[in-house]
Structures are given as C-alpha cells and as structure tokens.
Chains A and B, each alone.
Chain A
Amino acid sequence: DQQVKQNSPSLSVQEGRISILNCDYTNSMFDYFLWYKKYPAEGPTFLISISSIKDKNEDGRFTVFLNKSAKHLSLHIVPSQPGDSAVYFCAASGSGTSYGKLTFGQGTILTVHP
C-alpha cells in the first residue's frame, strides 16, 4: 500500500517556465512533508518542507503548497533552470511515528531544457 504517491514518473519543461511536481498521500496522520532532490550517483538533498499547520511555504524559486482536504501537495519551481534537472521525491511523516520514519513517494524525473 503506497501511502505517498507521485503519479508522474517524469516531467519535461523549458528553461524559464514553471515546473509543477505533484504528490498525493493517503495517511491522514501525516502532518509534516518534505521535498528532496537527487542527482545521479549522489544522495538525496533536502529542498523544502511544510508543516500541516501551513498551506504554503516559499524558499527562493521553490514553493510548496499543501491541500490537506485533498491530501495533496505540490512543488512549484519558478523559473526553472537546467540545473534543476534531477529526481524529486516527496516524503511525509506523522506525529504518531518516530523521527526518521519518513515515507517517500516513487520520485519524479524533472528535465529542464535550455
């Protein structure tokens, strides 16, 4: 049972345009969400996070939106740059679980074309 789902395996956008990566979850106990970026042959690196008490969090070109009623979050990258090409994972944790027990989605491969 996949509790965190990224239904788009890949996304291709033009440099300078907006990239929107989506993530759905089923566990209503999840209350903290994170996005990680991964380049080939490297470990994932933290990008941005959001707590369930918020519906939006911004950090430079990156904004995460959370729709709790729809159990959906999205990551917006504006403007997209070729260096943003990577695999993006969303992850979730719940207040009832121990720290470090993140549940990850399958990942979305983002390709930004010059």
Chain B
Amino acid sequence: NAGVTQTPKFQVLKTGQSMTLQCAQDMNHEYMSWYRQDPGMGLRLIHYSVGAGITDQGEVPNGYNVSRSTTEDFPLRLLSAAPSQTSVYFCANHRGRKKLFFGSGTQLSVL
C-alpha cells in the first residue's frame, strides 16, 4: 500500500515549457488535492477534487490545470512554466474532512 505516489521527485524547466506532475493513490479516497509549499508561506491549495470528473479551484489556481478522470489519478499540469512556479508541490488525499495523506512531494525549479 503505497498511499499517495508523486512523480517526478525533481524537475527543472525552462520558462515557457509545459509539464505534468503525476499523482496516484491506492487508498480509494474520493478527495484529492494539490498544494504548493513556499518558504514563509506554508502550504497553499492549488486545486482539489471531490471525486472523478469533479474539480475546483483553490487559493492559487492560476497557471495550473487539473483533471480527474479516475479515482486513482489526479495530475497537475503547468501550461507555461514561470519562475514564480518554482516550489515544492504536494499531492494529498483524504476521506471526509479529517486528516490528509500527503505524497513525498515534487521539487520544481523554473529557470
């Protein structure tokens, strides 16, 4: 039982490039979320999903797209990477409003 798996662990992009951060769960939880962690800012919600086919924006959604075609997968797409998107990204899942289970993170640098 891997829980929440994120790939890749590290990524370097050039400004303007696009990429997809992968997130997969094997816990069959209906809720999944994407957060970014920046120094002095804590974790901020980017997008979340309450089930397959249903997504909504969080606090900092600009520049990111998500889709939820299956319960297991919740990829995060960067459409045109910018230096301001340099951050550590965490995917999480949970059942109900209680504790979230986080993946180990993706460290992204945009040059």
Q: Which of A9, A46, A99 contacts B97 (CB 8 A)?
A: A99
**Does residue A80 face the partner (Cβ distance < 8 Å to B)?**
no
Using C-beta atoms within 8 Å of the partner chain, give the interface range for chain B: 20 to 34
Task: From known contacts A49-B98, A98-B48, A99-B50, infer whether A43 and B103 are also in contact, taking CB-CB under 8 Å.
Answer: yes
Residues of B within 8 A of A6 (CB): 42
SS of B interface (majority)? strand
The contact of B105 among A9, A42, A98, by CB within 8 Å, is A42
Contact (Cβ within 8 A) A89 B42: yes
CB pair A43 B90 closer than 8 Å: yes
Contact of B44 with A104 in the complex, beta carbons under 8 Å: yes
Residue ranges of B at the interface with A (Cβ–Cβ < 8 Å): 4, 31-33, 35, 40-45, 48, 50, 56, 58-59, 90, 92, 94, 96-105
* Contact in complex: B102, A44 (CB < 8 Å): yes
Q: Mark A85-114, 1 if CB is under 8 A from B, else 0.
A: 000010101000011111111110000000
Does A77 make an interface contact (CB < 8 A)?
A: no
Chain B residue at smallest Cβ distance from A107: B42
Q: Is A41 in contact with B104, judged by CB distance below 8 angstroms?
A: yes
Q: Of A32, A44, A100, which contacts B90 at CB under 8 A?
A: A44
Given A46-B99, A100-B94, A101-B58, A106 and B104 touching (CB < 8 A)? Answer: no
Task: Name the A residues within 8 Å of B100 (CB-CB).
Answer: 44, 46, 100, 102
**Considering the chains assembled together, what is the distance between the CA atoms of A104 and B96 in angstroms?**
18
> Could you tell me if A43 and B105 are in contact, using CB atoms closer than 8 angstroms?
yes
On chain B, the residues within 8 Å of A43 by CB distance are 4, 90, 92, 102-105
CA distance A4 to B90 in the complex (A): 19
- Docked-complex contact A100 and B92, CB < 8 angstroms: yes
